Amino acid sequence: MAALKHRRTALERVEKFLSETYFTDCNLRGRLFGDRCPLVSLSCFQTPRRIPYDEAVGQEFRTAKVGDSFGPTWETCWFKVELSIPPAWAGREVHFVWESDGEGMVWRDAQPVQGLTKEGEKTSYILTSSLKETDPHSLTLYVELACNGLFGAGKGSMIAPPDPDRRFTLSKAELVVFNRDVYELLVDLEILLDMAQLLGEENQRSFQALYTANQMVNVCDVMDPSTFPAARDLAAAIFSQRNGESQHTIHAVGHCHIDSAWLWPYEETIRKCARSWVTVVRLMECNPELTFACSQAQQFEWVRSWYPGLYRQIQDFVAKGQFVPVGGTWVEMDGNLPSGESMVRQFLQGQRFFQEQFGRICSEFWLPDTFGYSAQLPQLMRGCGIRRFLTQKLSWNLVNTFPHHTFFWEGIDGSRVLTHFPPGDSYGMHGRVEEMLKTVKNNKDKGRVNHSALLFGFGDGGGGPTQKMLDRMKRMSDTDGLPRVQISTPDRLFSVLEKESSQLCTWVGELFLELHNGTYTTQAQIKKGNRECERILHDVEVLSTLAVARDGAFQYPASQLQRLWRLLLLNQFHDVLPGSCIQLVVEDALQYYAEIRRAGARLQEEAVQSLCRELLQPKAGSTESTLVLNTLPWERTEVISRTGPAGTETLALVTVPSMGYALVREPLLPPQPVAVRKQEDGSIAMENGVIAVCLDMMGHLTSLRLVDSKRESVPDGCYANQFALFDDVPLYWDAWDVMDYHLETRKPVTTLLKPLEITLAGGLRGSASFSLQIGESSTLTQEIILDATCPYLRFLTQVEWKEAHKFLKVEFPVQVRSTNATYEIQFGHLQRPTHWNTSWDWARFEVWAHKWLDLSEHGFGVALLNDCKYGASAHGNVLSLSLLRAPKSPDATADITCHMFTYAAMPHLGSFQDASVIQHAYNLNFPLHTVPASSAQCPAWSAFSVSSPAVVLETVKQAEDRPEAVVVRLYEAHGSTVVAWLQTSLPVKEAMLCDLLERPAAGGRLPLEQRGMRLSFTPFRVLSVLLVLRQ
């Protein structure tokens, strides 16, 4: 009899036939598993440590049973599982089923064999697909259970701080017969049901799918498996009806985004990688078509060290082209805050690792989950052998919908990379019909490209693809009404997109994420550790390179530097440096910074000892002098603090040559000493011949003048250095987000604890200090410092911060009119509007910068410099620096501590380029080094200098593969086309241009001339030069 034309009852009939909840006594789902059999025995042992298998199996195990709970959070339980498969199950598929709310790993014969995570839909380990008489029937397995879920152990919500006392329950542990024929029929019906529901009532294909599914229910007797083939034939008839030629093709790639640390510590991530990747390896054994894109060299290195057997299997699948390393970086780092050189090292360490381990570098940059993308990235990618980029995070924009999914992205220097955002706006798809339809419907480049990516697999906390995801997509490979779905690789996708790219649009400049702009400020200690350690490693490399060049016996500390760089790069992961991680991770990160500081100080001392050995030996009867080292590529005249013979600190004005040193006995006299005077109204004036400032009793800057031109920076009646406190309660993502509406809650800080007093009376340095109360219980103490000859005023700040959901900023209203402000980014700068004309403008109410931001009109401007801050804004004529936040999730203690940081205000004539704002921001971040020396006479020595102020020599290091060669990296910082001469006193025998991976450029040989090496720059171009030294 024909089916009645009642769509709703037919749909719901099929739904109930598949339901896990209703009618399981008589529907198809209830037949998925056959007989069950309990384990022979189950015993366990618990430890607070994450220990290796060999150690675990030697422990004393006690009896355990299903229903027991284990904990607390972050503990590990090892279970010994003894099982015996009933001989009556001959010919059947047998699974070991394990369900728990912790994350498990099955070990068999001392090797990891299967990850078990209920949240990742992995609850069984296949013992045999068809039990033979010769198969082992009795065996012992071990299950390593982590007392944390896929997303850690948040108390009440996913991103809440972890619940330290959570218990984890073992709810199932048994052997079952798995009915594969029932499973296949269930997948058929699921796909048909989804087609019926999602293709819509106006689509005839929807009804074909519905009536076929309805007919299958009629044909199918769940008690009689012999009826199943007929039902499956009905489904196959639908799935085999092909598409037309114009249909969109989806390139499905297995993926498992694993955050290197987030709601769990680094150590747990090592196990997450193993659990996820061993599962992928098992799937590849059964599905030779499966491909899996895997990023982050650090995670491969972890598995290589901790799970060598698994790693060898991964290497085999990499060789077969199934397990595909992507990304080319050490970790998936934050896209905004790491310095230019840090980003280069992410690629250098990553690409070298992939080359060494797998014989090839990655051809696509892979950063699906990072909170915005610097406009310098395209040039850095291309310098590292990458012309393709994949992400999807801009789909999270809160205000504006990004207009493309496939496009060319052009950086500040003009470099372009082909960029693809999977149009399904996710990196964790499940292979469902709904996702395929969304991918096609949502694609913003219809008619331009007809191919797109779909990344499938559980992600963030690991998990990865499942067999069911693959089986769903097999049925959709070419079925009329659905896009074509093929298991593919990133390379295959991008190769097709490259062929289709003639009609693509270009996006110029940064890919700014209109969300998560609190991550420029959260966890200030991590931000400070990052900036400081970037500086330390820069200085150690410069000084060690010079030491090698001057003294052949000195060994460049290459392996120690690699270890320290890798720690720094790890902390740049996109939930650590942004501050969006739990307290355990913060503690690890701060420990890594402490290690870089400790080891870095030792390496620096060794390099200086070698470089300046004869100057540091005290001579009999000699009076002490001071050796001053400058690691920056320009001459500097600055006030330093040095320890006198009696151990007292004294100030001295010194001049030190570019990237070199000078011996100081008699300090210079300043052309004009700093004058400090207190006025009758309690305000304090300071002047040094370059700038003159006036401060009121509250520490406000009421006047900031250039002495020669008498040009005033602070508008009449306004206060600069004004602290303001804002309510900071986002919609959900606490550590991540600061919302636009926080600006409506501004409260100026007005409670004075200690009025402004002179602390240094002038001469080489003048300063004044004051204290304020901030909010309910926080205090701020500041010393405002003016040095002789210095063009900026420094604000040395200490905050005892105890707030909750408050945001502290400091504001500088300036007498400048401009529609754009300029912000330093990696190896350059960019402009952003100071107005809120359009939604694209106001969505950038809080932005990021590196060492400086500047607001200039023709002929005059004011710059704000800083030594460890990243959040900033410029609206109208007010420059703001974001200082501290106080989120409570996922770390309830975030930022509640004592903070020390420095920022500076620098008024200038002309452009910021001509006024050397860039150089002064470097000077603030890279203090001169002082070492007590003997009084031996010694001429000043300079290793490198550059003829043009537009070009910054950023990096001097030993070449990775050639100990007799040095790599120097320079960039054009002004946004100009310029020729610069690089001069060096090092014994160079040949010079050549190279890329960021230090591979010599074709035809890149540089002649060595009297003036040095001639280098040609276009705006913001980064050049690397390989210098081979004479031995």
**With 0-12 CB in 10 A as exposed, 13-18 as middle and 19+ as buried, what is 859?**
exposed
Residue among 783, 738, 766, 752 at smallest CA distance from 883: 738
Q: How far is CA 702 from the centre of its chain?
A: 40
What is the DSSP secondary-structure string of 183-232? HHHHHHHHHHHHHHHHS-TT-HHHHHHHHHHHHHHHH--TT-GGGHHHHH
Q: What is the dihedral of CA 888, 894, 897, 901, to 10 degrees?
A: -130
CA–CA separation, 340 and 535 (whole Å) = 12
- For residue 567 the two structure tokens come to 């720690």
CA–CA separation, 516 and 529 (whole Å) = 21
Q: Quick one: DSSP state of residue 518?
A: G
Per 3-state DSSP, the chain is made up of helix, strand and coil in percentages (nearest 5) of 25, 35, 40
Angle at 181 between CA 175 and CA 182, to 5 degrees: 75
CA–CA separation, 591 and 596 (whole Å) = 9
764 in Cβ contact with 674 (< 8 Å)? yes
- Between the alpha carbon of residue 682 and those of residues 693, 694, 757, the distances in Å are 14, 11, 8
**With 0-12 CB in 10 A as exposed, 13-18 as middle and 19+ as buried, what is 1016?**
exposed
Residue among 419, 440, 391 at smallest CA distance from 257: 391
401 in Cβ contact with 290 (< 8 Å)? no
**With 0-12 CB in 10 A as exposed, 13-18 as middle and 19+ as buried, what is 299?**
buried
Q: How many CB atoms lie within 10 A of CB 816?
A: 20
- For residue 868 the two structure tokens come to 């460890």
882 in Cβ contact with 809 (< 8 Å)? yes
Specify whether 369 is catalytic.
yes
SS3 assignment, position 495: helix
449 in Cβ contact with 497 (< 8 Å)? yes
Instruction: Give Cβ neighbours of residue 198 (< 8 Å, ≥ 6 apart).
Output: 206, 433, 434, 437
Q: Map tokens 């936040």 to a residue.
A: 885
Q: How many CB atoms lie within 10 A of CB 165?
A: 10
Sheet holding 1013-1017, edge to edge: 944-946, 978-984, 1013-1017
Residue among 283, 272, 258, 332 at smallest CA distance from 307: 272
Q: What is the dihedral of CA 745, 748, 751, 755, to 10 degrees?
A: 160
Amino acid symbol at 135: D
Q: Quick one: DSSP state of residue 161?
A: P
Amino acid symbol at 425: D
CA–CA separation, 343 and 777 (whole Å) = 39
665 in Cβ contact with 625 (< 8 Å)? yes
- For residue 258 the two structure tokens come to 């694993």
* Cis ω before 890 (30° cut-off from 0): yes
CA–CA separation, 887 and 55 (whole Å) = 40
CA–CA separation, 404 and 421 (whole Å) = 8
CA–CA separation, 767 and 799 (whole Å) = 18
Active-site pick, 101, 194, 334, 369: 369
Amino acid symbol at 1029: L
Rounded to 5 degrees, φ, ψ at 1022 are -105, 125
Active site residues: 369
